[in-house]
Amino acid sequence: MAVMTDVSTTGAALRSPASPPAVAVKELDAEKLRFIEEMTSNVDAVQERVLAEILGRNAETEYLAKCGLAGATDRSTFRARVPMATYEDLQPYIRRIADGDRSPILSGHPVSEFLTSSGTSAGERKLMPTIEDELDRRQLLYSLQMPVMNLYVSGLDKGKALHFLFVKSETRTPGGLPARPVLTSYYKSDHFKNRPFDAYNNYTSPTATILCADAFQSMYAQMVCGLCQRLDVLRVGAVFASGLLRAIRFLQINWEQLAADIEAGVLTARVTDLSVREAVAGILRPDPELAELIRAECSKGDWTGIITRIWPNTKYLDVIVTGAMAQYIPTLKYYSGGLPMACTMYASSECYFGLNLRPMCDPSEVSYTIMPNMGYFEFLPVDAAASGGDASQLVDLASVEAGREYELVITTYAGLNRYRVGDVLRVTGFHNAAPEFRFVRRKNVLLSIESDKTDEAELQRAVERASALLRPHGAAVVEYTSQAYTKSIPGHYVIYWELLTQGPVAGGVAVDKDTLDSCCLEMEEALNTVYRQSRVADGSIGPLEIRVVRPGTFEELMDYAISRGASINQYKVPRCVTFPPIIELLDSRVVSSHFSPALPHWMPGQRSD
């Protein structure tokens, strides 16, 4: 896709002369682009104003009073008095709010709900307090996406977006506040439900299909609607790459039923939600020709380029493929026949951060520009973070240096103060005065298939718990490593085990198959709630697999690493492997492989503390 103009000019010059959109849209776009220019040109002044506003609103809070801020709203007092905080530091405050204490603890504005992050603490989702007007800020950031995209791709108002959007189950805290993922909160808000018609954000999915909490019914209905409007579809997407791949997998499994429904013009009885049925009825018509096309394309057994075969007018995939999602790029290329992938936004439950101002760039080049109006942002250099880090080492948004890596630390309107998000970002350049950041990694994440984030300690605990099942068999795990296996959809965790067994055993396996299968499930039971929810409720992670490798394999692994320059003294077994030759080596030594025979336990609703 040719870039129509460079975004690094001023708002007025951003307009593409090649395809002038309608006048009203043009004006609205120009206004949004001017806003981006203004924000990114005055980063430091905006940040100073945002901090003063946040501290002014939250001046009476227990937290800031404890910090000794005494109502001050200036940067220097803030810097001197407010420490950096982790979730664990804030948990006692958060627990009180969750339990129903309505006094101004963290925020001067009432906490309207909790957003359940995919980041976990002690195995449970983190609960992020939020306030009503955060929705306005989120909506503002969303509203900037298409004006930027229109600079690069023309005619997006002439068709629709097949965007697979989902809500998840929600619960209430003991004090009665809703606790749900940020996107669920957004889609259920009036901001989304009652949004005015926007030709640039015209989805093929009726709102009722998005708001249906049943994952199967929601996906089925969205897929039917996307198929029926296939020629209108100009972009195909989901929030994350894993979500889009799940949709493709869904099509692989359900195309026969989908084609039958389209042929008859009648929705399967498996979709029982009345509001969904009603919404789909407005779109689904008997269309034997379309049904035939779906059958012809899906029965070939060859799924290369299926997205463009079914939705031939798709210009790009609208999907995040940065961070942990980068592992899905080759698979998405395969299914889309190499369509461009646009990563438009960088956001979290704690705060929405910013935009990619060059959304059609190659995934490896994606950088996000943090918008200084969204919150107050500071940066801890990673070398300082490695040695614990303290608040005196924090750098302002306007003062970060190109080429350096930082951990993101935020202060939000909702009352997080100097909170360590856990994301590591590298400064790649500047848009006006605003730094652009490449997402480097999430701290301490070893394995991730979709929103799950498993760290080394969690994996270690899971291995320990499962290996207890080996003890009665006189066996133990001597070494292990892991891999996020994403060649199949859904992906799954693969854990390589080298066992020590008593007495000489051919092949090194003295433990029976059933026990090793049970070890897989035992490991899953030990993993965090996000992992288990993905397995049980969403089906977005497949059964965990243990691959037993023959004795001596991990020594070979060490020899290989040393042959490539690792120091013998400092060599440590990697707890996760991604380098293809290492994976090949491990796979060539596998003596048996085992899958989790059942789903682990997971209940909707979590401990809300």
Binding residues for ligand AMP (CB under 6 A): 117-119, 182, 320, 322-323, 343, 346-349, 421, 423, 439, 442, 451
Residue closer to ligand AMP, measured from CB, 327 or 348: 348
CB of 323 to ligand AMP, least distance (A): 3
Single out the residue of 141, 183, 142, 140 nearest to residue 165, CA to CA: 183
Residue closer to ligand AMP, measured from CB, 182 or 466: 182
Residue closer to ligand AMP, measured from CB, 88 or 464: 88
Residue closer to ligand AMP, measured from CB, 251 or 421: 421
Count, in order, helices (H) and strands (E) of the chain.
Answer: 21, 20
DSSP 344: -
Strand order in the sheet with 475-485: 475-485, 492-501, 545-549, 590-595
CB of 261 to ligand AMP, least distance (A): 34
Q: How open is the CA angle 51-440-526, to the nearest 5 degrees?
A: 100
Alpha-carbon span 369 to 145, nearest angstrom: 12
DSSP string, 564-604: TT--TTT----SS---HHHHHHHHHTEEEEEE--SPPP--S
Alpha-carbon span 264 to 285, nearest angstrom: 8
CB of 366 to ligand AMP, least distance (A): 8
Alpha-carbon span 579 to 287, nearest angstrom: 48
Q: Nearest to ligand AMP by Cβ — which residue?
A: 323
Cβ atoms 23, 38 nearer than 8 A? no
CB of 547 to ligand AMP, least distance (A): 29
Question: Residue 185 belongs to what H/E stretch?
Answer: helix 182-187
Alpha-carbon span 151 to 358, nearest angstrom: 9
Q: Given the structure tokens 């790029």, which residue do they identify?
A: 329
Residue closer to ligand AMP, measured from CB, 65 or 361: 361
Residue closer to ligand AMP, measured from CB, 306 or 366: 366
Residue closer to ligand AMP, measured from CB, 412 or 451: 451
**Torsions phi, psi for 251 (to 5 deg):** -65, -40
Question: Residue 525 belongs to what H/E stretch?
Answer: helix 513-526
CB of 475 to ligand AMP, least distance (A): 38
CB of 379 to ligand AMP, least distance (A): 14
Cβ atoms 267, 280 nearer than 8 A? yes
Q: How are beta strands 233-240 and 316-320 bridged, if at all?
A: parallel
Residue closer to ligand AMP, measured from CB, 14 or 345: 345
CB of 173 to ligand AMP, least distance (A): 17
CB of 116 to ligand AMP, least distance (A): 8
CB of 90 to ligand AMP, least distance (A): 14
CB of 352 to ligand AMP, least distance (A): 9
Residue closer to ligand AMP, measured from CB, 85 or 557: 85
CB burial of 283-298 (b: ≥16 within 10 Å; e: otherwise) equals bbeebeebbebbbebb
Residue closer to ligand AMP, measured from CB, 229 or 411: 411
